[in-house]
């Protein structure tokens, strides 16, 4: 039955695979530095004012950045119901941990400054750190699993356990995204913070860049080799990962030469190249079966009917430009660097 | 662990999890929608008049709005994810139709509310006052728009339209998006929920203002806020009740079993009476009951002697149509949630009416009993919102998509241990959040409003 349906994807289906890819890229590009900033907060701050400088660099934008995830999730549900259903039920416990982390992180932004109480702030700082570090790790694990295969049989039925999701390749993928997002956060802080936080972020970026280069290169190398060995259909254009690794190797120099804008553009490019490589490698599947390749879930087999895809294409075509415009505009409005105030005024929002 | 869980099914765990997380999420959402609009109104008054007391009220309630908004956002992500996690067979079945509004909700509504809220929080003094005002209106508009898409999706589950069943995959596929977005069930549901959200926001605004008026804090600002609130409470209570009544008539034609179960009406009756309350069992042998003649017929059919179908007859019809099985939801839950919802709605209407009367008599600020009553009434809309959803969702059972997919066929094929873990986890996290959140809200609500500084810029460090 499913084999019959597994024809090659139509143009509309290809378009939606690409659009969902774009949503994920947008999410990782934007929320990637949010995660990095959250992970770095304890390491680039010496006191609470520093910590507040760090949080305020992403304060106006983190929530809008997270909506890229909500939209990617909703679009996957609508365009590829079987993909959404199989991944979300199969990655059950991992997603539970991810959701718990995102809950505490989101609350930390809004609540940490609401009480002038050191213990209260310390708890929310922990929430912000773990709420950023865990998703940064787990997204890499999940995307590595999509590509490398999970234990599913016909119709997306799951036959494995939680431990099938944390194989060495996937763990390396998680480590790669954790260090990449942290580096991305460091270059963001270099661009958005001022004063001691900016300097410390620069120091972190200088030693983190080579480490990240090694981990990411190892992971992309493994991806490239295994893709050719196991999935002959999954053509990997090696140009993109090579350019990505090249940009990553340059980050250390750019930071050293205080070319902060270029350093941020470089890490952003690496994030995009990294996930584009994985998505291209995944295509024409959306989820690979580690049991047998005939159980792979393909773009064509999991896609919604053309009517739904057409409706959503029109909605996306009309409204996406507005979203990009006003979201871009907020970055322009808050383009000023965040720095330690000369005197820390009493906070109006405080009890 | 697994032995202990042997007798508990994935289905019942998943249902409890959905119920707990959804009711919790929806404690905060209506306040976000309602209070967001009211804060926009307060800020508009401040912008127009230049009167600082309006501005103090705006900032005071704006702060409460933000603390509440955050929890709605973080619990909302769980909502989107758990369709796939716990209800994967449902997700495959409905994805073509249900997924589209969710995706559009993200693109049209969530980007708007989160982006412009960021501008609103951080933008005072950085953007012009006009743009700052526009930001809160756009954020508020985003919250109102988001409700439209998720309710269109829910209305489709209550009353599927604009679809066909694909014979090959047995999925529901959309063939008319316009029909989905203009579903008669959706139109009434959206209005009912929006008015209820406004009622929640305005009752909150009134109750908190009333507390400060009793304390004698900043009476200029809180009396203004209270006046706005009273008018909105009254208008939105009328709207909520009127649309709820229209929904009852619609329910009688679209989901008659829900109506019959709401009254525990076992046999088809013409000129059916309505029981205000029952002591004893609901299966026809009450110990004590207060009944109002003909009211159920009026409620369900708009006629004095209209025919209301009974549970037994509807069960027989459903068996004939869909095959063997029980098609009766849990009657006592429906009976009581319906009465609590309606009773609280009427009580809130009274709050608005009495408030308006006191306002006209210029006795509002001095009427201690009313101010005290108004503060306690803050709890009423939250309870009404929760029982309203419990009523409408339990009332649809055994269906998850009415007439098309049973809840028991919608659940993911995963071991109960997974769902038990997340059920315990989410319940623990949400309990913790509730304690922290409610504690903080009460704390912030009791702090008097602050004077507006001469240098009126948002501080360098907000968070």
Task: Say how many domains are in chain B.
Answer: 2
Per-residue model confidence as pLDDT tens digits over B217-276? 999 999 999 999 999 999 999 999 999 999 999 999 999 999 999 988 999 999 888 888
Whether A194 shows a pLDDT value over 90: the answer reads yes
| In a domain? residue B457 | no
| In a domain? residue B399 | yes
B457 Cβ partners below 8 Å, 6+ apart?
B124, B125, B126
Hey, are the CB atoms on A99 and B81 less than 8 Å from each other? yes
Using alpha carbons, select from B257, B264, B260 the residue that is nearest to residue B399. B257
Average pLDDT, integer, range A170-199? 96
Tokens 């409003």 found at: B449
Hey, are the CB atoms on A84 and B174 less than 8 Å from each other? no
Hey, are the CB atoms on A77 and B81 less than 8 Å from each other? no
Hey, are the CB atoms on B111 and A96 less than 8 Å from each other? no
Lowest-pLDDT range of A194-203, A281-290, B328-337: A281-290
Hey, are the CB atoms on B70 and A111 less than 8 Å from each other? yes
Residues B172 and B261 in one domain: no
The DSSP-derived string for B124-176 is BTTB-HHHHHHHHHHHHHHHHHHHHHHHHHHHHHHS--SEEE-TTT--EEES-
Nearest beta carbon to residue B421 from set A86, A96, A344: A96
Residue pairs spanning A and B at CB distance below 8 A? 254
For A90-174, strand residue ranges (E) read 152-153, 157-158
Whether A197 shows a pLDDT value over 60: the answer reads yes
Residues B213 and B138 in one domain: yes
Q: From CA B23, how far away is CA B31, in angstroms rounded?
A: 13
Residues B56 and B199 in one domain: yes
Residues B248 and B260 in one domain: no
Average pLDDT, integer, range A221-243? 68
Per-residue model confidence as pLDDT tens digits over B282-291? 877 778 888 8
Residues B228 and B141 in one domain: yes
Residues B246 and B173 in one domain: yes
Hey, are the CB atoms on B126 and A52 less than 8 Å from each other? no
Q: Is the dihedral of CA B364, B367, B369, B372 positive or negative?
A: positive
Q: From CA B17, how far away is CA B8, in angstroms rounded?
A: 13
Using a CB-CB cut-off of 8 Å, the residues of chain A touching B91 are: 77, 81, 84-85, 88
Hey, are the CB atoms on B461 and A338 less than 8 Å from each other? yes
| Confidence (pLDDT) at A236 | 52
Whether A1 shows a pLDDT value over 50: the answer reads no
Dmax over CA atoms of chain A, in Å, equals 70
| Confidence (pLDDT) at B151 | 96
Taking a C-beta distance cutoff of 8 angstroms, is the pair B273, B293 a contact?
yes
- Asked if the peptide bond before residue A282 counts as cis, ω within 30 degrees of 0, the response is no
The DSSP-derived string for B271-289 is S--EEEEEEE-SSS-EEEE
Using a CB-CB cut-off of 8 Å, the residues of chain A touching B98 are: 77-78
Per-residue model confidence as pLDDT tens digits over A23-59? 999 999 999 999 999 999 999 999 999 999 999 999 9
Using alpha carbons, select from B206, B239, B204 the residue that is nearest to residue B27. B204
| In a domain? residue B284 | yes
Q: From CA B298, how far away is CA B302, in angstroms rounded?
A: 4
Mean of per-residue pLDDT scores for chain B: 93
Residues B388 and B271 in one domain: no
Per-residue model confidence as pLDDT tens digits over B338-357? 999 999 999 999 999 999 99
Which residue intervals of B87-128 are DSSP H helices? 88-94, 100-104, 111-123
- Partners of residue B308 on adjacent β-strands: B269
| In a domain? residue B2 | no
Residues B212 and B292 in one domain: no
| In a domain? residue B456 | no
Nearest beta carbon to residue A319 from set B76, B107, B175: B107
Q: From CA B412, how far away is CA A288, in angstroms rounded?
A: 20
Taking a C-beta distance cutoff of 8 angstroms, is the pair B224, B365 a contact?
no
Whether B1 shows a pLDDT value over 50: the answer reads no
Q: From CA A268, how far away is CA A271, in angstroms rounded?
A: 5
Hey, are the CB atoms on B118 and A63 less than 8 Å from each other? yes
Q: Report the residue of B146, B148, B463 to disrupt the A interface, i.e. the one with the largest count of A CBs within 10 Å.
A: B463
| Confidence (pLDDT) at B7 | 60
Hey, are the CB atoms on A88 and B107 less than 8 Å from each other? no
| In a domain? residue B296 | yes
Region for B162 from its dihedrals, namely left if φ exceeds 0, alpha if ψ lies in -120 to 50, beta otherwise: left
Structure tokens at A291: 């049991």
Give me the residue spans of the domains in chain A. Answer: 9-331
| Confidence (pLDDT) at B53 | 94
Residues B323 and B191 in one domain: no
Comparison of pLDDT for B252 and A346, the residue scoring more:
B252
Residue of B nearest to A121 (CA): B463
Residues B417 and B302 in one domain: no
Using a CB-CB cut-off of 8 Å, the residues of chain A touching B61 are: none
Taking a C-beta distance cutoff of 8 angstroms, is the pair A268, A29 a contact?
yes
Count of positions (residues) in chain A? 351
What ipTM did this prediction achieve?
Answer: 0.92
Taking a C-beta distance cutoff of 8 angstroms, is the pair A331, A61 a contact?
yes
Pairing relation of β-strands B405-406 and B172-174?
unpaired
Hey, are the CB atoms on A74 and B433 less than 8 Å from each other? no
CA distances (Å), A332 to each of A265, A337, B33, B132, in order? 16, 11, 28, 15
Angle subtended at Cα A154 by Cα B411 and Cα B154, rounded to the nearest 5 degrees? 30
Q: Based on C-alpha coordinates, what's the Rg of chain B?
A: 24
- Which of B295, B312, B328 corresponds to the end of one domain? B328
| Confidence (pLDDT) at A157 | 83
Average pLDDT, integer, range A171-197? 96
Average pLDDT, integer, range B55-61? 95
Average pLDDT, integer, range B4-11? 71
At residue A155 the predicted structure's pLDDT band, cuts being 50, 70 and 90, is confident
| In a domain? residue B122 | yes
| Confidence (pLDDT) at B8 | 77
Structure tokens at B275: 């029981």
C-beta neighbour count of B288 within 10 angstroms = 8
Using a CB-CB cut-off of 8 Å, the residues of chain B touching A79 are: 99, 103
Comparison of pLDDT for B2 and B248, the residue scoring more:
B248
| In a domain? residue B5 | no
Hey, are the CB atoms on B95 and A77 less than 8 Å from each other? yes
- Which of B287, B303, B328 corresponds to the end of one domain? B328
Using a CB-CB cut-off of 8 Å, the residues of chain A touching B127 are: 333
Pairing relation of β-strands B307-308 and A157-158?
unpaired
Q: Above pLDDT 70, what percent of chain A?
A: 93
| Confidence (pLDDT) at B461 | 86
Hey, are the CB atoms on A112 and B460 less than 8 Å from each other? no
| Confidence (pLDDT) at B6 | 54
Residue of A nearest to B440 (CA): A114
Q: Report the residue of A41, A70, A97, A347 to disrupt the B interface, i.e. the one with the largest count of B CBs within 10 Å.
A: A70
| Structural domain span for residue B232 | 10-252+333-446
Q: From CA B40, how far away is CA B138, in angstroms rounded?
A: 9
Tokens 């997270």 found at: A66
Average pLDDT, integer, range B103-119? 95
Residues B210 and B227 in one domain: yes
Whether B364 shows a pLDDT value over 70: the answer reads yes
| Confidence (pLDDT) at B271 | 87
Average pLDDT, integer, range A132-153? 94
């Amino acid at each position: 039955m499913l084999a019959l349906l597994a024809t090659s994807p139509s143009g509309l289906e290809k378009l939606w695979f690409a659009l969902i890819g774009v949503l994920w890229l947008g999410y990782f590009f934007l929320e990637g530095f949010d995660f990095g900033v959250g992970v770095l907060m304890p390491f680039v701050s010496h006191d609470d004012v520093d910590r507040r400088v760090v949080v305020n660099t992403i304060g106006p934008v983190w929530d809008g950045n997270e909506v890229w995830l909500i939209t990617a999730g909703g679009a996957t549900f609508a365009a590829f119901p079987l993909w959404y259903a199989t991944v979300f039920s199969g990655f059950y416990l991992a997603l539970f941990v991810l959701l718990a982390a995102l809950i505490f992180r989101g609350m930390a932004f809004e609540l940490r400054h609401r009480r002038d109480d050191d213990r209260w702030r310390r708890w929310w700082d922990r929430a912000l750190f773990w709420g950023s570090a865990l998703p940064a790790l787990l997204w890499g694990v999940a995307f590595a699993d999509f590509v490398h295969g999970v234990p599913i049989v016909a119709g997306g039925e799951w036959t494995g356990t939680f431990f099938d999701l944390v194989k060495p390749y996937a763990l390396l993928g998680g480590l790669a995204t954790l260090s990449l997002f942290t580096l991305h956060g460091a270059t963001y802080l270099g661009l958005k913070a001022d004063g001691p936080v900016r300097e410390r972020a620069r120091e972190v970026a200088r030693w983190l860049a080579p480490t990240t280069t090694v981990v990411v290169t190892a992971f992309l190398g493994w991806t490239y080799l295994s893709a050719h060995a196991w999935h002959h259909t999954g053509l990997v254009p090696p140009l993109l990962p090579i350019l990505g690794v090249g940009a990553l190797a340059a980050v250390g120099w750019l930071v050293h030469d205080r070319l902060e804008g270029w350093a941020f553009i470089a890490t952003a490019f690496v994030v995009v190249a990294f996930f584009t490589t994985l998505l291209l490698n995944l295509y024409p599947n959306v989820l690979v079966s580690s049991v047998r390749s005939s159980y792979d879930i393909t773009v064509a087999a999991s896609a919604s009917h053309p009517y739904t895809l057409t409706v959503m294409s029109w909605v996306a075509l009309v409204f996406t430009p507005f979203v990009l415009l006003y979201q871009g505009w907020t970055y322009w409005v808050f383009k000023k660097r965040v720095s330690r105030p000369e005197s820390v005024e009493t906070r109006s929002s405080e009890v | 662990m697994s032995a202990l869980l042997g007798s508990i099914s994935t289905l019942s765990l998943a249902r409890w999890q959905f119920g707990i997380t959804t009711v919790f999420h929806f404690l905060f959402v209506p306040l976000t929608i309602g209070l967001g609009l009211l804060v926009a109104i307060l800020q508009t008054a401040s912008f127009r008049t230049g009167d600082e007391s309006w501005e103090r009220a705006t900032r005071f309630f704006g702060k409460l709005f933000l603390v509440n908004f955050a929890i709605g956002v973080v619990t909302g992500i769980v909502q989107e994810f758990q369709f796939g996690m716990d209800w994967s067979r449902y997700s495959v079945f409905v994805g073509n139709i249900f997924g589209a509004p969710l995706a559009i909700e993200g693109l049209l509504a969530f980007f708007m509310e989160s982006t412009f809220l960021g501008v609103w929080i951080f933008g005072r003094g950085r953007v012009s006052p006009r743009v700052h005002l526009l930001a809160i209106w756009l954020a508020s508009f985003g919250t109102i728009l988001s409700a439209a898409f998720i309710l269109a999706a829910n209305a489709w589950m209550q009353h599927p339209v604009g679809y066909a069943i694909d014979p090959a995959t047995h999925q529901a596929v959309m063939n008319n998006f316009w029909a989905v977005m203009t579903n008669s069930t959706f139109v009434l549901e959206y209005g009912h929920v929006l008015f209820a959200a406004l009622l929640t926001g305005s009752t909150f605004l009134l109750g908190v203002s009333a507390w400060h008026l009793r304390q004698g804090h900043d009476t200029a600002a809180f009396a203004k806020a209270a006046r706005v609130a009273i008018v909105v409470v009254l208008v939105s209570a009328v709207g909520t009740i009127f649309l709820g009544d229209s929904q009852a008539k619609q329910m009688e034609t679209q989901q008659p079993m829900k109506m019959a179960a709401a009254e525990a009406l076992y046999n088809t009756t013409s000129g059916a009476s309505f029981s205000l309350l029952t002591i004893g069992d609901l299966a026809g042998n009450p110990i004590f009951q207060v009944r109002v003649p003909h009211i159920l017929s009026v409620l369900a059919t708009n006629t004095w002697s209209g025919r209301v179908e009974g549970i037994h007859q509807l069960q027989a019809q459903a068996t004939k149509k869909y095959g063997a099985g029980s098609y009766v939801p849990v009657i006592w839950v429906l009976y009581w949630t319906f009465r609590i919802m309606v009773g609280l709605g009427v009580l809130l209407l009274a709050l608005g009416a009495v408030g308006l009367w006191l306002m006209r008599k210029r006795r509002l600020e001095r009427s201690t009993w009313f101010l005290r009553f108004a503060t306690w009434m803050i709890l009423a809309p939250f309870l009404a919102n929760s029982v309203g959803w419990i009523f409408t969702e339990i009332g649809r059972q055994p269906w998850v998509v009415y007439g098309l997919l049973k809840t028991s066929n919608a659940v993911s094929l995963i071991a109960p241990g997974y769902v038990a873990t997340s059920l315990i986890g989410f319940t623990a996290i949400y309990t913790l959040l509730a304690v922290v959140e409610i504690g903080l809200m009460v704390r912030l609500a009791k702090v008097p409003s602050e004077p507006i500084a001469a240098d009126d810029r948002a501080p360098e460090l907000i968070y």
